[in-house]
Structure 1
Amino acid sequence: MLHWLKTPQSPIVAQYIECYWTIEKTAKTNLNDFPKLNPDPATHLVLSPSEQPFLYKVDDTAITGKGSHWLYPHRNTFQLDHSQPFIHLGIKFRTGALYSLMLPDYEHPTLDDVHELKSDIPIQQQDIPNLIEMAKNNVDMCCQNLDELLIPWLTKSKQDRHSELVKKALSLLDSVAINELSEKLFCSQRTLERSFIRVTGLTLKQCQSMNKLEVILEYLYQRDADDIDWAEIAVMFGFSDQPHLIRYLKNQLGLTPKTYEKERGLTIDVYGGIDSF
């Protein structure tokens, strides 16, 4: 299995792109056939071979298509279909970045959805096979080419007072209580909440909860089931008690901690999140 994650080399690109990532499954790869993708406040551009199918399922709704596609911020856990060999080269945008990039076919904000790629970015369909080949054989060259393709587009972005305020809020969101953010940013709570929803499509609480979930999952991935103390984890991550943590995980992932212990690899942020599984 091929799997890597790299940050952009260009500081211009890094303002809008959090990372590039690749995951590949071959016929010989031992990988969960139907992993789940945890809620994510970021948008991903997933570059894939044109005839390669994709499937994202939430509850009784399935979103299907072929080839490259946009994976927008999602508040629920998606189940993926990785039962057949595949390869994805991904671009993970920073939370709220698409607000400033003014895609012609993009109605902002788009949530909980997947759209096939149109000609709305400087990466053309003919570029994708070469990029995927580089992702497999020369990671640094792949990242450099992505930087070069994206820079002309990203330099045309437009920031406004809403995007500037949200950028500052995001830098503090994981370390400052939500009810203290507006004071830190010298604005009213109402102004902050409205700008945040306008730019990201999410509330501050939704985004903070998604960020916390990713940190918890990373902590869990690094430990064997026998080493996990759920009561200790509840205290460590600011939950009032273990039942509070259980309710949180069930709401976010559709799994209880005990189910997670049994299935372990079921919930994997394979798209630009945890760098090992």
Structure 2
Amino acid sequence: MNTWKIKPTSDLLAPYVEYIWALQVTEPSQQSALLLPNPSANAILSPPEDKHVYRKNGFELEVQGGHWLSAYTEELYVDDLHPRQLLGVKFFPDGAFGLGLMRAESANQKLIQPLPSCFQWQDEMDINCPDAAAHIIESQLLSLPPIDEQRIWKSVHEARLYINEGKSLDLLPMSRRTLERQFALVTGLSLKQYEQMVKMDRLIWAIYQEQNEKIDWSDLAYRFGFSDQPHLIRQLKKAIGVTPKRYLIEKHLSIDLFGDFSN
């Protein structure tokens, strides 16, 4: 398996794009990768003959070639049963809207959707040449016209940074009701959903860094603001679909391109 990720080199794209990534599956596997809940959309470019299979809540979603993967609040699995190659863009949660891609591609809230027309798989895209492949994708993104709703995007962008930094949203110059409405419009998530995903992301990363199974769950519950150990464990199982004990044994995190972890 060949993977890489690169931050955008264009200052114009930096506020919107977290990174450009690649994945090449050369040896198919029967084991599915767990993709943790993710507040960010991904534009995935792939040769039209390549098959991609996702599984969620017992349902199987199959797609050929390039596609748009919306933000998702529950665990998602992806199968590596077939050789395939992908180049993609992971946007910040507000980034797709800021570039004019979110509203058109997420109006019906489907998990898998067609790629926006600005993205095209090209024969000269070579996963083994990261800088050149990333440059082509950046060029496609830079061809997008500016959006008319920059003011809304800036408000939500600032709110998201406040959440990430642990600042109170009461410091922002707008009502909570207005912020809730704008945040849902721009990210497809409620403020509560995003705040919970940020907290769970940090919790899961803390667990993943443990070198053994002897974790002080009560201490973790206190550090991450859960009422007690059972509350933490219930929320963790709800987020990743497996018990903490099983997760510690398997630690079957996905590669970076769909989240913040590598296996």
Normalising by structure 1, we get a TM-score of 0.85
Distance 1:75 1:88, change over 3 A: same
The residue that corresponds to 2:83 in the other structure is 85
The residue that corresponds to 1:243 in the other structure is 230
- Whether 1:26 aligns to 2:30 is no
Counterparts of 1:179-258 in structure 2, within 5 Å, are: 180-181=168-169, 183-226=170-213, 228-258=215-245
- Whether 1:16 aligns to 2:2 is no
The residue that corresponds to 2:124 in the other structure is 130
The superposition leaves residues 39-78 of structure 1 with CA deviations (integer Å, 9 ceiling, x where unpaired) of 1111101111211111111113222110010001112211
The residue that corresponds to 1:102 in the other structure is 100
Instruction: Report if aligned partners of 1:23, 1:270 keep a CA contact under 8 Å in 2.
Output: no
Deviation at 1:157, TM superposition (A): 3.0
- Whether 1:145 aligns to 2:136 is yes
Normalising by structure 2, we get a TM-score of 0.89
Instruction: Report if aligned partners of 1:34, 1:82 keep a CA contact under 8 Å in 2.
Output: yes
The residue that corresponds to 1:3 in the other structure is 3
SS at match of 1:56: strand
Instruction: Report if aligned partners of 1:19, 1:272 keep a CA contact under 8 Å in 2.
Output: no
State the number of aligned residues: 263
- Among 253, 259, 263, which residue is 1:273 paired with? 259
SS at match of 1:150: helix
The residue that corresponds to 1:67 in the other structure is 65
Identical-pair percentage:
31
Residue range with higher mean Cα deviation, 33-42 or 79-88: 79-88
SS at match of 1:174: helix
SS at match of 1:73: coil
The superposition leaves residues 134-157 of structure 1 with CA deviations (integer Å, 9 ceiling, x where unpaired) of x22x2222222322232121x523
Distance 1:110 1:268, change over 3 A: farther
Distance 1:272 1:79, change over 3 A: closer
The residue that corresponds to 1:49 in the other structure is 47
- Among 146, 155, 158, which residue is 2:148 paired with? 158
Q: CA–CA distance in 2 between the matches of 1:148 and 1:256?
A: 43
Query: Once superposed, what is the RMSD of the aligned Cα atoms?
Result: 2.4
Distance 1:226 1:102, change over 3 A: closer
